[in-house]
Amino acid sequence: MVIKQYSGAPEDADLTRADSLAREIFSDIANKWAFLIIELLDDRTLRFSELRREVEGISHKMLTQNLRMLERYGLVERCVHPTVPPRVEYTLTEPGRALRETVSGMCDWTHQYLGHIEAARRRFDG
Amino acid sequence: MVIKQYSGAPEDADLTRADSLAREIFSDIANKWAFLIIELLDDRTLRFSELRREVEGISHKMLTQNLRMLERYGLVERCVHPTVPPRVEYTLTEPGRALRETVSGMCDWTHQYLGHIEAARRRFDG
DNA sequence: CAGTATCCTGGCCGATACTG
DNA sequence: CAGTATCGGCCAGGATACTG
């Protein structure tokens, strides 16, 4: 099923809200940081600092932003332990784990076609 | 399989090139425009202007850039007809169609969990 | 340790104009 | 029609400092 576009036709009034929401979610989640977080989180429970370490190259700010976004959409559960110093753990929810299936698929795809892609790129560049 | 990170260990020297390439490809392709193009292209053959019309909200420039990127990685084939006016058609290659499977999976996921997501968001915002 | 807030800059991206 | 080039505004996102 395609991420439908709003046709502007009046009879699509009902579809519009759902579609624009779908498009919004899709646009937000289809970004490399969200994908890497979901893939690395896997079925583990990780602290903020652990994620920061494992998702190479991500900045403190980007990690926070993406975790908030994922939490807002209910893909990630945030568990705060009232200790000193604070301990905050993140886990994928059921929808998050479902999405992880497709993210993993993309990781597999990347490794599977690495050769093709590298060759194509060399051909294109040269 | 995870998009591996470079550990910096000397014995990873061989892995490094492949991994950084994988990461680069992953980062480039995991963006909404590339996904929407791949999804809409499906198994069809579309002209530049048709894509422009179907991928709602994409600018001329973004479409060009993403098509070049996808062509460079060998996910899209570009066929130029030497006519006046020019006619350029785009099709998914086999690697492109393979990736489309996972992109479609994400589209399905989006629609399937739309309710969950909307509810989670309302809960989070309120 | 986890998170927020502020500042600032590079580059993303839209708009526009121009070629073949 | 398809594509490149250029300019410019604006914001993504890094660095830093500060709270609980």
On chain A, the residues whose CB falls within 8 A of the CB of B40 are 2
DSSP state of A31: B
| Segment A55-84, tens digit of pLDDT | 999 999 999 999 999 999 999 999 999 999
Q: Which residues pair with B79 in a beta bridge?
A: B89
Domain parsing of chain A, residue ranges: 1-30, 33-125
Footprint of strand C on the protein (CB under 7 A): A 47-50, 52, 60-61, 64, 67-68, 78, 80, 85-88; B 58-62, 85-86
On chain A, the residues whose CB falls within 8 A of the CB of B46 are none
The CATH number that domain B33-125 falls under is: 1.10.10.10
| Segment A78-120, tens digit of pLDDT | 999 999 999 999 999 999 999 999 999 999 999 999 999 999 9
> Could you say which of A40, A95, A107 has the minimum Cβ distance to residue B1?
A107
DSSP state of B5: P
Q: For chain A, what percentages of helix, strand and coil (3-state, to nearest 5) are there?
A: 65, 10, 25
Q: How far is the CA of B86 from the C1' of C16 (A)?
A: 22
Q: Which residues pair with A87 in a beta bridge?
A: A81
Angle between helices B13-29 and B60-72 (to 10 degrees): 150
| Segment A13-22, tens digit of pLDDT | 556 778 888 9
> Can you read off the two tokens belonging to residue B109?
């996921």
Is there a contact between A116 and B95 if contact means CB atoms under 8 Å apart? yes
Strand order in the sheet with B87-92: B46-47, B87-92, B76-81
| Segment B84-107, tens digit of pLDDT | 999 999 999 999 999 999 999 999
> Can you read off the two tokens belonging to residue B32?
């909404």
Query: What is the model's pLDDT at position A91?
Result: 98
**Nucleotides of D strand lying within 7 Å of any protein CB atom:** 1-6, 13-17, 20
Distance from CA of residue B116 to its chain's centroid? 25
